[in-house]
Amino acid sequence: MEKVSLAFELYGKEYAFETGELAKQATGAVLVKQGETTVLVTAVISAQEKDYDFFPLTVDFMEKMYAVGRIPGGYLKREGKASDKGTLTARMIDRPIRPGFADGFKQEVHVVATTFAIDGQNPPDCICVGGASAALMIGSAPFDGPAACVRIARNAETKEFIVNPTYEEQETSDLELTIAGTRDYISMVEAGANEVTEEDMLAAMNFGQEAIAAFCEKQAEFLAMVAPEPREWPIHVPDASIAERVDAHFDEMSAALKDADKQSRIAKVEELKAAIKANDFSEEEQAAWGSDIAAALKSLEKHAMRRMVIETGERADGRAADEIRPLYIRPGYLPRVHGSGLFQRGQTQALSVCTLGLLNEAQRLDTIDPATGKRYMHQYNFPPYCTGEVGRMGAPKRREVGHGALAERAILPVLPSEDEFPYAIRVVSEILESNGSSSMASTCGSCLALMDAGVPIKAPVSGIAMGLIKEEDGVVILSDIQGLEDFLGDMDFKVTGTANGITALQMDNKARGLSTEILGRALQQAKEGRAHILNAMLAEIPGPREELRDTAPRIETIHIPVDKIREVIGKGGETIRGIQDSTGASIEIQEDGTVHIASVDQEAGRAAKAAVEAIVKEPEVGEVYEGTVVGIQTFGAFVKLTPSKDGLLHISRMANGRVSKVEDVLNMGDTVKVQVIEIDPKSGKVSLDRLEKPDAPEGSEPAHNGREERGNGRDRRPGRGNRNNGNEDRGGDNRKPRRRHQQ
């Protein structure tokens, strides 16, 4: 294939598609660009058909640090495990293209998006969806494309929508909506928002659908230039007798599904499936049609559940379409931790735990994304026991990363700023029971934990998962879906927000023909469900607690001059370590002179604060100090006022009467009460007067004013004891003058 390229402009941004030059052994490969951000997206379809009862699609997003001109961190200095951002991007590519493949297509499909160059202005994620669609269609895959993805921002001041905003444009937006699909339907929605109303969110979706259609048109133009050769891929068609035999048990399946208890229902359904398989199929047929029989049994379960909802309005657990499962809410569930909340809805249970720390404990990010760290971290764990299963425990899977990111995005708009609340915040949601909507339980539990910890959030957040059953013209929107309705339904639509508006949403769609009109109805029904849940939460904890837990660190913030930072840190960190070791407090100093002092013990925090303030304190005229004598000269004594500042107490101001020498009234290490009487504006030297002066000793004579006496005085301050004002150790007056360097 010769190189084919198409450059175009849409909504004020420059884009390009290219193929025929790179990765020519892949089934399809497209180089896609926005600005100078460049990603190669490849698609490979295996030659062999797999006997699976699911579609074997794998999507990988490869973040290459060379794309942003950086060497990877760590010992190996090469890319390793995908970052959370990379995992989320891979999911974002997978979700909109997966529903577009033909039923019965069983070849393995592997899509890989590799970042070649990132310009720091244009994110690479949205263009990867269009690249994947184009690569699949170049390979003539049985794929319902073109498909595209756009990100919609809204200028917070002008309220104008922006398509695929730059990072800079996104900073001034109150909305980040990522929407994907074809010219005809929406397949994926992801959004974060600053309490945006349902009406504004729907307007953004409508605008996004128009933008998707425009990108699909450009992709179709590019594909027409490529003119891919048609290819017939095998589409598996099971033996018609399988469905006939299985569908004969429709009434039995309908009866088995009518059980509110998840484990009991699963047991009944699995028992029925096993009986159908054993009684209606011979061992030879089971061996030959294994995956087809499993798919037919799944289809029977799906059809029975959907018809029950469409025809009778009844759900498997007996609820109405807009009914929420029973709620059980307990803030402050755990002792000792900084904050916790138990949230249960039906048979889904989440325990969220909040931990507070210094800002230097925030997460550092080493990715191609401009963000270098994040202060709020939400992590979601889904152990096998939460569904009554046996399984391996290990690193979080893609689903766990995705659900954690959704709950994190839901809370971010209501968090206080660093200036208001200078803490790093980590919330962990442990899913202890699951029967659908666990990510929304995680969001509600996290809000409870934050309020229990005393984090001054701007408004409480609740969340709900919505479902959809669509059969021809029949459409039923379900509130608070359980696992069965998620698995066998057409839509999983999660919405979070405050009483004022939406903070996050996520939608995956399996039904072709999903319109923004249906999504608008779902948003309105979700608003009512969120309000019901939020009221139940506020009945248990009406707002953030006024005080932090005794076990949580108290952080006090002070500001010091930038030129004093070095003094507080000390040589090799000696000074700041000494303060931390002696007080038990933790101290963080930022480049602008902001100092955060954290300690569970309030007395320790106050002591550390006083120590830092003492170091940077500049004496002022009139202030009184009790200082230690740290140096003695014939003309007076040096008194330490602060850790970094001494003052001179002249011999004439040490006592009532005339003093012949300093040692008659003061010695090294003595504590003396003094007052600042003068500060030289040029040199900064401090002159002191002694308060509560004693009388001069009897027989004390005034100090000799001769040059010899004044010259023989010794500076007895620490580190200066071997310095002589005289010249006896240096050859006296016979020293040769030091020569200046001759130019």
Tokens describing residue 674:
């003094």
Instruction: Report yes or no: 447 and 497 within 8 Å, Cβ to Cβ.
Output: no
Q: Cα separation of 632 and 661, whole Å? A: 10
Token look-up 């030059």 returns 21
CA distances from 598 to 231, 575, 604 (A): 66, 17, 9
How far apart are the C-alpha atoms of 148 and 7, rounded to whole Å? Answer: 16
Burial bucket for residue 591 (CB in 10 Å: 0-12, 13-18, 19+): exposed
The torsion region of residue 223 among left (phi > 0), alpha (psi -120 to 50) and beta comes to alpha
- DSSP string over 530-591: HHHHHHHHHHH--S--SS--TTSPEEEEEE--GGGHHHHH-GGGHHHHHHHHHH--EEEE-T
Measured at the CA of 343, the angle between CA 342 and CA 344, to 5 degrees, comes to 125
DSSP state of 703: P
Residues in the chain: 743
Query: How many angstroms separate the CA atoms of 175 and 191, rounded?
Result: 7
CA gap 555, 600 in Å, rounded? 9
C-alpha distance from residue 239 to each of 14, 273, 288 (Å) = 50, 18, 11
Taking the alpha carbons at both ends of the chain, their separation in whole angstroms is 72
Give the neighbor-by-neighbor strand order of the sheet with 107-117.
Answer: 4-10, 13-19, 28-34, 37-49, 107-117, 57-62
Pairwise CA distance, residues 556 & 574, whole Å:
22
The Cα 722–Cα 211 span in angstroms is 81
Residues 10 and 106 sit within 8 Å (Cβ to Cβ): no
Distant-in-sequence contacts of 252-258, Cβ < 8 A, 24+ apart = 253/300, 253/301, 253/304, 254/304, 254/307, 254/308, 257/301, 257/304, 257/305, 257/308, 257/316, 257/484, 258/308, 258/316, 258/318
| Structure tokens belonging to residue 659 | 């003093």
Residue with tokens 């009866």: 255
Does the annotation list 486 as a binding residue?
yes
CA 95 to CA 196: how far, in whole Å? 24
Residue with tokens 């884009």, as numbered in its chain: 15
Q: Which phi and psi (to 5°) does residue 693 adopt?
A: -65, 140
- Cα-to-chain-centroid distance, residue 701: 75
Q: How far apart are CA 427 and CA 724, in angstroms?
A: 63
Closest Cα to residue 488, out of 624, 287, 305?
305
Binding-site residue numbers are: 486, 492
Binding-site residue numbers for Mg(2+) are: 486, 492
